[in-house]
Amino acid sequence: MKKEIVSTDQAPKAIGPYSQGVKAGGFLFLSGSIALDPATGEMRQGIEAETEQVMKNIGAILAESGLTFADVVKTTIFLTDMANFATVNGIYGEYFKENPPARSTVEVKGLPRGATVEIEVIAVLG
Protein backbone atom coordinates (compact mmCIF):
# COMPACT_ATOMS: atom_id res chain seq x y z
CA MET A 1 0.00 0.00 0.00
CA LYS A 2 1.30 3.40 -0.99
CA LYS A 3 1.15 6.29 1.49
CA GLU A 4 1.33 10.04 1.03
CA ILE A 5 2.34 12.48 3.75
CA VAL A 6 0.09 15.53 4.25
CA SER A 7 1.50 18.74 5.69
CA THR A 8 0.39 22.37 5.87
CA ASP A 9 1.74 25.47 7.54
CA GLN A 10 -1.87 26.35 8.41
CA ALA A 11 -1.66 23.80 11.25
CA PRO A 12 1.08 23.37 13.87
CA LYS A 13 4.24 21.60 12.78
CA ALA A 14 4.75 18.15 14.27
CA ILE A 15 6.56 18.33 17.63
CA GLY A 16 7.99 14.83 17.25
CA PRO A 17 8.71 12.11 14.71
CA TYR A 18 5.24 11.97 13.17
CA SER A 19 3.29 13.55 10.30
CA GLN A 20 0.30 15.87 10.51
CA GLY A 21 -1.52 13.42 8.29
CA VAL A 22 -1.05 10.37 6.10
CA LYS A 23 -3.16 9.30 3.12
CA ALA A 24 -3.31 5.53 2.72
CA GLY A 25 -5.84 2.94 1.60
CA GLY A 26 -8.52 5.45 0.68
CA PHE A 27 -8.34 7.24 4.03
CA LEU A 28 -6.66 10.24 5.58
CA PHE A 29 -5.31 9.58 9.06
CA LEU A 30 -4.62 12.70 11.13
CA SER A 31 -2.32 12.65 14.12
CA GLY A 32 -3.79 13.89 17.36
CA SER A 33 -4.10 17.66 17.35
CA ILE A 34 -3.60 19.86 20.40
CA ALA A 35 -4.26 23.59 20.71
CA LEU A 36 -0.99 24.91 19.33
CA ASP A 37 -1.47 28.12 17.38
CA PRO A 38 0.29 27.54 14.03
CA ALA A 39 1.31 31.20 13.77
CA THR A 40 2.98 31.47 17.19
CA GLY A 41 3.63 27.88 18.28
CA GLU A 42 2.02 28.76 21.63
CA MET A 43 -0.71 26.77 23.38
CA ARG A 44 -4.14 28.35 23.60
CA GLN A 45 -5.40 28.47 27.19
CA GLY A 46 -8.80 27.42 28.56
CA ILE A 47 -10.90 24.48 27.44
CA GLU A 48 -13.06 26.51 25.03
CA ALA A 49 -10.10 28.19 23.33
CA GLU A 50 -8.18 24.91 23.21
CA THR A 51 -11.06 23.03 21.63
CA GLU A 52 -11.67 25.76 19.03
CA GLN A 53 -7.97 25.77 18.08
CA VAL A 54 -7.86 21.98 17.85
CA MET A 55 -10.83 22.00 15.48
CA LYS A 56 -9.27 24.79 13.37
CA ASN A 57 -6.02 22.80 13.16
CA ILE A 58 -7.92 19.70 12.06
CA GLY A 59 -9.87 21.73 9.49
CA ALA A 60 -6.63 23.11 8.01
CA ILE A 61 -5.17 19.64 7.50
CA LEU A 62 -8.43 18.36 6.01
CA ALA A 63 -8.51 21.36 3.64
CA GLU A 64 -4.92 20.68 2.55
CA SER A 65 -6.20 17.30 1.37
CA GLY A 66 -9.29 18.76 -0.33
CA LEU A 67 -11.58 17.45 2.42
CA THR A 68 -14.00 18.90 4.96
CA PHE A 69 -15.40 17.79 8.28
CA ALA A 70 -18.17 16.05 6.29
CA ASP A 71 -15.52 13.52 5.13
CA VAL A 72 -14.56 12.53 8.69
CA VAL A 73 -15.64 8.99 9.59
CA LYS A 74 -14.00 8.47 13.03
CA THR A 75 -12.62 10.66 15.80
CA THR A 76 -11.02 10.01 19.14
CA ILE A 77 -11.10 12.70 21.82
CA PHE A 78 -8.61 12.60 24.68
CA LEU A 79 -9.44 14.70 27.76
CA THR A 80 -7.38 15.20 30.90
CA ASP A 81 -10.61 15.85 32.83
CA MET A 82 -13.94 14.28 31.88
CA ALA A 83 -15.61 17.25 33.59
CA ASN A 84 -14.77 19.14 30.36
CA PHE A 85 -16.77 16.70 28.24
CA ALA A 86 -19.90 18.87 27.85
CA THR A 87 -17.88 21.94 26.83
CA VAL A 88 -15.78 20.04 24.31
CA ASN A 89 -18.84 18.17 23.01
CA GLY A 90 -20.70 21.43 22.39
CA ILE A 91 -17.88 23.00 20.37
CA TYR A 92 -17.12 19.73 18.56
CA GLY A 93 -20.80 19.41 17.63
CA GLU A 94 -20.68 22.74 15.76
CA TYR A 95 -18.33 21.08 13.24
CA PHE A 96 -20.45 17.94 12.79
CA LYS A 97 -24.05 19.17 12.50
CA GLU A 98 -25.20 16.38 10.16
CA ASN A 99 -24.17 12.73 9.96
CA PRO A 100 -21.50 12.95 12.66
CA PRO A 101 -18.63 10.46 12.59
CA ALA A 102 -18.15 7.54 14.94
CA ARG A 103 -16.32 8.70 18.07
CA SER A 104 -14.57 7.57 21.21
CA THR A 105 -13.80 9.84 24.15
CA VAL A 106 -11.35 8.84 26.84
CA GLU A 107 -9.87 10.48 29.90
CA VAL A 108 -6.08 10.41 30.08
CA LYS A 109 -3.57 11.34 32.76
CA GLY A 110 -1.73 13.88 30.62
CA LEU A 111 -1.24 15.26 27.12
CA PRO A 112 1.70 16.91 25.33
CA ARG A 113 2.55 20.53 26.20
CA GLY A 114 0.04 20.54 29.07
CA ALA A 115 -2.95 20.33 26.74
CA THR A 116 -6.32 19.43 28.22
CA VAL A 117 -7.83 18.15 24.95
CA GLU A 118 -6.44 16.29 21.93
CA ILE A 119 -8.43 15.01 18.97
CA GLU A 120 -7.39 12.57 16.25
CA VAL A 121 -9.32 12.03 13.04
CA ILE A 122 -9.81 9.54 10.23
CA ALA A 123 -11.45 10.79 7.02
CA VAL A 124 -12.42 9.03 3.83
CA LEU A 125 -10.83 10.25 0.60
CA GLY A 126 -13.03 11.26 -2.36
Average pLDDT of 90-117?
97
Q: For residue 126, what pLDDT is reported?
A: 80
Can you say whether the dihedral through the CA atoms of 70, 75, 77, 78 is positive or negative?
negative
Model confidence at 14, pLDDT cuts 50, 70, 90, reads confident
Q: List the end-to-end C-alpha distance of the chain, in Å, as a whole number.
A: 17
Task: Indicate the pTM of the whole model.
Answer: 0.95
